[in-house]
């Protein structure tokens, strides 16, 4: 067997594999001898079929199968030994005139090679890391929400500005019928609010959907329609009032504090505000980190310049998926995924350079922490090491779960690298400002 490579350019190569008769003949002969022992052909006792007949019936199929096995093994071994960093998979060049009666076979494969490049984490322009804080308004709103949530519900005869009104939205033409609870502060205009104030159970109020809510997502939930249907929706809906309630807010006392956080963890309103601020900002930190991860990813893709074997990758994509694509479809798919491919190469380079491997002990420690949090939610605050080891072992036997945790841990390792190595500036921002700036 002989393997040679021709480098077309820095990103493309062709590998030629020559397979001679001596490479496969012994294996083919052995398999045919075994076939002869078990072949069941009418007119012959098992094990006494003439070898010529066995070769005639099975020889070509065995030959093709063995040559293909040799070919794949040789190609994989060659790529490993030569340390070739290939993209996609080798693509066999078409051979319409292949003669399987020959003693020597030649096969050619196109290769797409990964580019050589360096990653510079520290750029001239600083990337912003947002420190999201809970401001006074947010803390006060959260306390009001808690007081309402734990307060008493009192039935009302007529609707008032702060009533909780339960009823059903209906529009027969669009097959809309959804029961829900509404509060008047969600509506966009004062006119809608006036329609409800003074209304009674059984009243039917006709509303126009266009501009009804301040936020279209609230309208989507109220009508129980899809995200696509809600945009530019302009129709009339009837709301039938079924129940009107007022909510008497709970007192900020020790009983409420204990319900929220456990006995005597919080004992004053000041401690309550501090606790809400602390817990909220822990959650916000995750969102700030995710934003940083996204921004650094975008920066690295935009500022790490290298070429890809685009023509090869588009050709590979035509047959790589579950469904085959034509050339135009593959080109469109390549354009959609090019940024993702670029980042995968950049990420791989960073992982190798900074030795960011996720090890078994990392996965086990992560699984145990995850289990502790889940058990604490059910009041089990002090599980034994034996319990944790047993549950962690079950989790780590699930390949999908291991894959998910590995990706999560690698994201954390990359985030820590970015925090340590990239040019960052910190900006303090309230949660409302953060949402308005990046998600509105």
Q: Kind and range of the H or E element at 180? A: strand 176-183
Q: Say if residue 316 is in the same domain as residue 421.
A: yes
Same structural domain for residues 292 and 238? no
Q: Above 70 in pLDDT, residue 301? A: yes
Per-chain mean pLDDT for the chain: 93
Judgement on whether residues 273 and 243 belong to the same structural domain of the protein: no
For range 366-376, the mean pLDDT: 90
| Torsion angle, alpha carbons of 223, 227, 232, 238, to 10 | 0
Q: Is the pLDDT of residue 202 over 90?
A: yes
Looking at the domain assignment, is residue 421 inside a domain?
yes
> Given the structure tokens 């609870």, which residue do they identify?
181
One domain, residues 204 and 294: no
Look up the CATH number of the domain holding residue 194: 3.10.50
With b for 16 or more beta-carbon neighbours within 10 A and e for fewer, the 53-70 pattern comes to: ebbeebbeebbeebbeeb
The rounded distance, in Å, linking the Cα atoms of 383 and 371 is 9
Angle between helices 136-149 and 254-261 (to 10 degrees): 100
Number of domains forming the structure of the chain: 3
- What mean pLDDT do residues 167-171 have? 96
Tell me if 256 is assigned to some domain. Answer: no
Paired tokens of 39: 């072949």
Most distant CA pair in the chain, distance: 101
pTM of the model: 0.75
Q: Are residues 416 and 309 in the same domain?
A: yes
Q: Looking at the domain assignment, is residue 215 inside a domain?
A: yes
Whether the per-residue pLDDT at 41 is higher than 80: the answer is no
Task: Identify which of 86, 88, 90, 91 has the alpha carbon closest to the alpha carbon of residue 115.
Answer: 86
Mean pLDDT of 79-96: 92
Residue range(s) defining the domain that contains residue 298:
268-438
Across 41-47, average pLDDT:
76
38: which 2 tokens?
Answer: 């078990």
Residue 136 pLDDT exceeds 70: yes
In terms of domains, do 11 and 96 share one? Answer: yes
- Which pLDDT band holds residue 440 (cuts at 50, 70, 90)? low
Identify whether residues 273 and 394 lie together within a single domain. Answer: yes
Residue with tokens 């599980």: 383
Residue 136 resides in a domain: no
Same domain? For 275 and 244 the reply is no
Residue 138 lies in a domain: no
Task: Indicate whether 181 belongs to any domain.
Answer: yes
The verdict on 167 and 311 lying in the same domain is no
How far is Cα 245 from Cα 102, in angstroms, rounded to an integer? 89
Residue 105's domain is classified under what CATH number? 3.30.70.1050
pLDDT at 177 over 80: yes
Stated as kind and residue range, the H or E segment containing 204 is strand 204-208
> Is the domain of 433 the same as that of 296?
yes
């Amino acid at each position: 067997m002989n393997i040679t490579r021709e480098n077309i350019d820095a990103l493309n190569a062709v590998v030629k594999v020559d397979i001679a008769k001596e490479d496969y003949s012994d294996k083919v002969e052995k398999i045919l001898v075994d076939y002869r022992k078990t072949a069941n052909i009418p007119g012959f006792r098992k094990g006494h079929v003439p070898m010529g007949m066995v070769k005639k019936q099975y020889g070509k199929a065995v030959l093709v199968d063995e040559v293909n096995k040799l070919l794949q093994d040789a190609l994989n071994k060659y790529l490993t030994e030569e340390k070739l960093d290939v993209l996609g998979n080798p693509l066999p060049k078409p051979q319409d005139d292949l003669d399987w009666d020959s003693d020597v076979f030649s096969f050619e494969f196109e290769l797409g090679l990964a580019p050589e490049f360096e990653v510079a984490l520290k750029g001239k322009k600083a990337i912003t890391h947002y420190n999201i804080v809970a401001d006074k308004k947010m803390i006060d709103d959260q306390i009001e929400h808690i007081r309402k949530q734990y307060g008493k519900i009192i039935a009302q005869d007529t609707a008032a500005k702060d009533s909780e009104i339960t009823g059903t939205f209906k529009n027969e033409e669009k097959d809309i019928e959804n029961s829900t609870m509404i509060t008047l502060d969600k509506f966009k205009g004062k006119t809608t609010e006036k329609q409800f104030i003074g209304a009674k159970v059984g009243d039917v109020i006709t509303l126009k959907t266009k501009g009804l809510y301040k936020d279209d997502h609230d309208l989507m939930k109220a009508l129980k329609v899809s995200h696509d249907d809600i945009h530019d929706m302009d129709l009339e809906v009837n709301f039938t009032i079924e129940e009107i309630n007022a909510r008497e807010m709970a007192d900020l006392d020790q009983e409420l504090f204990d319900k929220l956080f456990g006995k005597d963890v919080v004992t004053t309103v000041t401690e309550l505000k501090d606790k809400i601020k602390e817990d909220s900002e822990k959650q916000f930190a995750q969102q700030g980190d995710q934003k940083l991860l996204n921004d650094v990813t975008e920066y690295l893709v935009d500022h790490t310049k290298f070429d890809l074997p685009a023509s090869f990758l588009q050709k590979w994509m035509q047959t790589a998926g579950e469904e085959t694509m034509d050339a135009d479809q593959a080109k469109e798919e390549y354009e959609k995924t090019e940024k993702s491919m670029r980042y995968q190469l950049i990420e791989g380079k960073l992982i190798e350079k900074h030795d960011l491997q996720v090890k078994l002990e990392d996965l086990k420690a992560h699984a145990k922490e995850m289990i502790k949090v889940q058990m604490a939610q059910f009041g089990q605050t002090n599980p034994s090491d034996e319990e944790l080891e047993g549950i962690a072992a079950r989790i780590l036997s699930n390949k999908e779960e291991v894959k998910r945790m590995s990706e999560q841990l690698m994201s954390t390792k990359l985030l820590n690298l970015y925090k340590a190595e990239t040019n960052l500036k910190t900006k303090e921002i309230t949660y409302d400002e953060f949402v308005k700036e990046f998600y509105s």
